[in-house]
Amino acid sequence: MILFARLIIVVFTSFLAQISLADKLPLAQISKYLNDLKTVEGNFTQVNDDGTISTGILYIKRPGKMRLEYDPPNNALVIASNKAVYIIDKKSNQMPETYPLRRTPLSIILAPNVNLSRQKMVVGHDYDGTATIITAQDPKNTEYGSILMKFSDEPVQLRQWIVRDSSGGETTVVLETLTTGVNLSNRLFDLPSREREN
């Protein structure tokens, strides 16, 4: 009887493991989804490291371009373009903060060719019951931080990301309504004229 009970436990555990594996999207499928994603427009909610919340509109034009346009009273603007990330305070006369895109985890999403199967790029691949969760980093520069991405299935869609920077801070972006395949002008990813002139 004890042997039978143990056998049932082993079979049941194996069954649960198979269900979990079946629900988890493969890395190759997620890489293909990101590579096929050319343009995106949608609303987002951002939870900052200090607990404050911002909302706005997101634009992505792969490869290499992203724009986060924040709603008032924030009025900030984040642009990824020309291999750099610019953080612009519209209320300030200061030059924007600028970082090389390759030194931020966002470069993984915006790369010309996303390959999550690269050795040591993915350090976490899980399923939480509703979404596949991928934690990725630049395998050659782990000090740049990491990005955790959540993907729904049927259809496969990026729903959230959490950027963990080199100092341990976290910024969560929850994607709400998303429209893909939209026509986005390259001008949308240009710096505002004041920043170009300075």
pTM score, whole prediction: 0.81
> What are the phi and psi torsion angles at 30 (to 5°)?
-70, -40
Return the sign of the alpha-carbon dihedral for residues 98, 100, 105, 109: positive
**189 Ramachandran zone, left/alpha/beta (phi>0; psi -120 to 50):** alpha
Give CA separation, 58 vs 146, 148, 167, in Å: 20, 18, 25
Q: Which domains does the chain have, with CATH numbers?
A: 25-174 (2.50.20.10)
Has residue 171 got a pLDDT over 90?
A: yes
Residues 118-137 have pLDDT tens digits of 888 999 999 999 999 999 99
Return the sign of the alpha-carbon dihedral for residues 90, 180, 161, 124: negative
Residues 67-117 have pLDDT tens digits of 999 999 888 899 999 999 999 987 777 888 999 999 999 999 999 999 999
Q: Where is pLDDT greater, at 36 or 141?
A: 36
